[in-house]
Amino acid sequence: MKIHLTLLIILISTQYGTSQTKESYEKNFGNFVIKVTDEVTQNYADLLDSRTDSIWSKSTPKFDNSDFEIPKPPPVLVYREEYKIHFFVKPKFYTQYTTKCDNGREIYHILKVDRETLLGTNFSPYFFELMENQWDFNRHTEDEFEILEYIKKDKKTICGFECYKVKIQTKGVAKRIIEMYVTEQIDLNYNPSFTNPHLLNKFYPLYIKEYLENYPNDVYKEYVFELE
């Protein structure tokens, strides 16, 4: 508890310290709270288990000349996790930390990202040490995603910004659909919920829902932005 309180004091001092000039305050963009829901439902687990049972009952795989059967894959983990990312935009860097919704006193994943290099420094509360430049958010490429559709008629106002809907798809084996409400009024190269700077150069998401295709409400991760 003392460590968490110390970290909070350090973080607040970093954000609002008296050493900041008036100019740096004026350049601050603002503070956000991002509510995150990460869920895999029982409905999806049951569906996948039934498919596995069907395949296994037909194939009944065994080793040659042996009665030993290859064990079935483990069942799908069912869970629902909710937490908040507190995100601060400063003139030369971004900072963020995460709190669990059911226990707001626990602070973890404390990160500082340089706005120019996009290198992230992580602070571990468990070992009370800094890990310099542990994250490189410049590593992302344009080829990671494919923009499927701009739906500019579908609009929402989020945090005071007019946003429109964009639908993209991840590339690779495990394809996922990402629906966003984005604004072109924010010019930032980092977003805790979507860290690809190439797409952030086109628009800035203030709502994100990433899900497994055909299972939008069974296997998904949702990010909802609010002003701090």
> Over the chain, what is the mean pLDDT?
82
Tokens found for residue 68:
């030993």
- Rg (C-alpha) for the chain, rounded Å, is 22
Domain extent at residue 117: 2-41+78-227
Q: Is the Cβ–Cβ distance between 179 and 167 less than 8 Å?
A: yes
Which is higher by pLDDT, 16 or 195? 195
pLDDT(119) > 50:
yes
Task: Dump pLDDT digits (tens) for 183-212.
Answer: 999 999 999 999 999 999 999 999 999 999
Residue 54 domain-assigned?
no
Taking the model in full, what pTM does it have? 0.80
Residue 88 domain-assigned?
yes
How many domains does the chain contain in total?
A: 1
Task: Dump pLDDT digits (tens) for 33-70.
Answer: 999 999 999 999 999 888 766 665 555 555 555 555 66
Least confident among 9-18, 30-39, 117-126: 9-18
Tokens found for residue 102:
């059911």
Average pLDDT in the 163-167 region? 98
Domain CATH code at residue 174? 2.50.20
Tokens found for residue 217:
């409400």
DSSP 55-92: HHHHH--B-TT--PBPPPPPPPPPEEEEEEEEEEE-SS
Residue 47 domain-assigned?
no
